[in-house]
């Protein structure tokens, strides 16, 4: 069977080569019992979303200052998870379209930047369909020499963990290439049907869709980055726009060990439709909730009426243990680098904080 056999010839759920192929029906989720932890996470995110609407109306100017920081962090973090890196300065220049890519990594970083911008600007007009997912993947690779953009995989791939000793351990074997196009069609169709019917809370449905997307692993390359872009798109379309102001990708990157652990755990029995998606749902909901908490913390710090030093002082009170100049700059995006440096110098002289180290190794601690 050719891997790109038309859908009319093979449907998921039919018997192929003696094995029943995986099917997808998200309406079954309405019958599932979710534990108190999942329900608690969902309830808290709903509350934050309600307050988010007020902030969007009350502080539009302050919010815009957070957008560019989040875009840069998201682009850097999502690529970093895949080992695609460049310097922080180059990331900023690439994201602000002030330079051109110098190597393959920077070409892929530019592609991610463009797709993220498309989602930010047009998410209401990007339906969850196979054809649109292919177009987003095409744009992810539009600066790259790789001729894989916008095409489903044509060879089997595996999700593997690479050890320092060079040994590779397979975590999960995804669907075969010939099953892939139909699988993506089916998860999109089922997702849209259940979202429209309001049978299942979108905060539960989105992580399960993303987990299934990762298990299908539809592309030769770029699956992880596409999963994070789709997470942002799905959340935005349901009104959860926190990722516009706080980088969800950055929070995933900082907890990537757990990310892979819960993925492997939830992959067990997936082909037989016997998997338990609960750990992945909890993980992603925890990431979203952390982003909302950061959002409220940062928006309360962004106040143009306060002098720079008072904004920096307020930001410092949010930090526990060691902190750096760059971390403070993230919390007060409306203040320039020189103003933050001068404020830190003055607060150090006044004994409010203590400076440690020199050059790039410099960090600060509170003295209260």
SS (H, E, C) 149-191: CCCCCCCCCCEEEECCCCCEEEEECCCCHHHHHHHHHHHHHHH
What local confidence, expressed as pLDDT, does residue 5 receive? 30
Cβ atoms 75, 116 nearer than 8 A: yes
Whole-number Å distance between alpha carbons of 336 and 219: 41
Per residue in 24-65, pLDDT (tens digit) is 999 999 999 999 999 999 999 999 999 988 888 887 777 887
What local confidence, expressed as pLDDT, does residue 53 receive? 85
For residue 202, pLDDT over 70 is answered with yes
What local confidence, expressed as pLDDT, does residue 10 receive? 37
φ and ψ of 77, to 5 deg: -70, -45
Tokens of 108: 């892929």
The helix (run of H) or strand (run of E) holding residue 238 is none
Whole-number Å distance between alpha carbons of 297 and 295: 5
The residue-averaged pLDDT of 272-283 equals: 96
CATH no. for 15-24+40-301: 1.10.3290.10
Per residue in 121-156, pLDDT (tens digit) is 999 999 999 999 999 999 999 999 888 999 999 999
φ and ψ of 276, to 5 deg: -110, 105
CATH architecture for segment(s) 308-366: Orthogonal Bundle (1.10)
Do 15-24+40-301 and 308-366 come out as alike in CATH topology? no
Per residue in 156-200, pLDDT (tens digit) is 999 887 767 778 888 899 999 999 999 999 999 999 999 999 999
User: What ranges make up the beta strands (E) of the chain?
Assistant: 15-16, 19-20, 159-162, 168-172, 353-356, 363-366
In three-state secondary structure terms, 312 is helix
Whole-number Å distance between alpha carbons of 283 and 277: 10
Tokens of 308: 């720079």
User: Helical H runs in the chain?
Assistant: 36-58, 60-81, 88-95, 104-122, 130-140, 180-197, 202-216, 223-237, 248-254, 256-267, 278-301, 308-317, 325-331, 337-349
> Taking the domains of the chain in order of start, what are their residue ranges?
15-24+40-301, 308-366
The reported pTM is 0.86
The residue-averaged pLDDT of 208-232 equals: 97
How many H helices and E strands in the chain?
14, 6
Whole-number Å distance between alpha carbons of 302 and 311: 7
- Residue (of 302, 262, 300) closest to 282 by Cα position: 262
Q: Which residues pair with 16 in a beta bridge?
A: 19
Note every long-range contact of 168-171, with CB atoms under 8 Å and residues 24 or more positions apart, other chains counting.
171/260, 171/263, 171/264, 171/267
């Amino acid at each position: 069977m050719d891997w790109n056999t038309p859908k009319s010839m093979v449907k998921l759920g039919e018997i192929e080569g003696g094995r029943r192929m995986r099917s997808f029906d998200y309406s079954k989720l309405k019958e599932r019992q979710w534990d108190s932890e999942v329900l608690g996470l969902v309830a808290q995110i709903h509350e934050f979303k309600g307050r988010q609407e007020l902030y969007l109306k009350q502080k539009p100017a302050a919010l815009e200052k957070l957008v560019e920081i989040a875009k840069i962090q998201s682009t850097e973090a999502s690529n970093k998870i895949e080992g695609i890196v460049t310097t922080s300065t180059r990331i900023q220049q690439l994201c602000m379209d002030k330079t051109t890519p110098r190597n393959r990594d920077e070409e892929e970083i530019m592609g991610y930047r463009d797709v993220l911008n498309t989602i930010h600007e047009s998410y209401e007009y990007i339906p969850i369909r196979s054809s649109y997912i292919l177009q987003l993947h095409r744009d992810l690779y539009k600066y790259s020499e790789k001729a894989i953009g916008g095409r489903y995989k044509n060879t089997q791939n595996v999700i593997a963990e690479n050890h320092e000793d060079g040994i590779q351990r397979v975590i999960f074997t995804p669907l075969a290439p010939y099953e892939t196009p139909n699988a993506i069609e089916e998860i999109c169709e089922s997702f849209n049907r259940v979202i429209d019917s309001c049978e299942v809370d979108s905060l539960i449905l989105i992580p399960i869709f993303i987990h299934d997307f990762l298990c299908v692993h539809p592309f030769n390359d770029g699956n992880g980055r596409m999963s994070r872009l789709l997470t942002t798109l799905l959340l935005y379309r349901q009104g959860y726009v926190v990722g516009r102001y706080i980088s969800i990708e950055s929070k995933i990157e900082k907890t990537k060990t757990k990310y892979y652990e819960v993925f492997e755990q939830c992959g067990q029995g997936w082909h037989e439709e016997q998997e338990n998606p609960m750990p992945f749902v909890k993980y992603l909901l925890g990431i979203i909730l952390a982003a909302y908490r950061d959002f409220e913390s940062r928006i309360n710090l962004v106040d143009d009426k306060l002098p720079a030093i008072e904004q920096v002082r307020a930001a410092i009170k949010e930090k526990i243990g060691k902190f750096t100049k760059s971390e403070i700059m993230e919390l007060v995006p409306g203040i320039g680098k020189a103003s933050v440096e001068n404020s830190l110098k003055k607060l150090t002289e006044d004994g409010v904080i203590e400076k440690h180290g020199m050059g790039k190794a410099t960090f600060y601690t509170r003295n209260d």
